[in-house]
Amino acid sequence: MVYGIGNPGRQDDGLGPALVAELEKKNLAGLTLEANYQLQVEDALLFAEHQMVIVVDALGKGDKPYIFKKVKPAKNFSFTTHSFPPEGVAYLCQALYQKKPEIYLLAIRGYYFDLGETISLKAQENLREALRFFMKILNFVTPKGKIICYNKCSESKKLLNLKEERKSNGKKQKRSSRPGGYPRV
Partner 1 sequence: MVRKITIEPVTRVEGHGKVTIHLDENGKVAQARFHVVEFRGFERFVQGRPYWEIPVLVQRLCGICPVSHHLAGAKAMDVIVGVGPGKLTPTAEKIRRLMHYGQILQSHSLHFFHLASPDLLFGFDADPAIRNIIGLAKSNKELAVHGVILRKFGQEIIKATAGKKIHGTGAIPGGVNKSLTSEERDYFLKSPAPFNVDTMIEWAQQAIELFKKIHRENRQVIDNFAHFPSNHLSLVRKDGALDFYHGVLRAVDADGRKILNDVDYQDYLEYIAEEVRPWSYMKFPYLKKLGKEKGWYRVGPLARLNTCDYIPSPRAQKEFEEYKAYTDGKPNNRTLHSHWARLIEILHAAEVIKELLLDPDITGGKLVKKGRKKHEGVGLLEAPRGTLFHHYRINDDDQVIMANLIVSTTNNNEAYNQAVKYVAEEFISGKPEITEGMLNRVEVAIRAYDPCLSCATHAVGQMPLEVDLYDSKGQLIDRKRK
What's the rounded Cα separation, in Å, for the pair 48 and 51? 8
Shortest gap between Cβ of 19 and partner 1 (angstroms)? 13
Shortest gap between Cβ of 178 and partner 1 (angstroms)? 29
Using rule CB under 8 A, residue 70 touches partner 1: no
Is the backbone of residue 30 left (phi > 0), alpha (psi -120 to 50) or beta? left
Scanning residues 13 to 52, which ones bind partner 1 (CB under 8 A)?
A: 13, 17, 34-42, 44-45
Burial track 160-181 (b if 16+ CB lie within 10 A, e otherwise):
bebeeeeeeeeeeeeeeeeeee
Scanning residues 112 to 131, which ones bind partner 1 (CB under 8 A)?
A: 113-116
155 burial (CB, 10 Å; 0-12 / 13-18 / 19+) is middle
How many residues make contact with partner 1 (CB under 8 A)?
A: 48
Q: Is residue 102 classed as helix, strand or coil in its secondary structure?
A: strand
The residue (of 113 and 150) whose beta carbon lies closer to partner 1 is: 113
Helices assigned H by DSSP within 57-145:
86-97, 121-138
Residue from 2, 31, 58, 127 in contact with partner 1 (CB under 8 A)? 58
* Cα dihedral 166, 167, 169, 173 in deg (nearest 10): 30
Using rule CB under 8 A, residue 162 touches partner 1: no
Residue from 95, 152, 167, 178 in contact with partner 1 (CB under 8 A)? 95
Q: Which residues of the shown chain bind partner 1 in the complex (CB under 8 A)?
A: 5-10, 13, 17, 34-42, 44-45, 57-62, 67, 69, 75, 77-84, 88, 91-92, 95-96, 105, 107, 110, 113-116
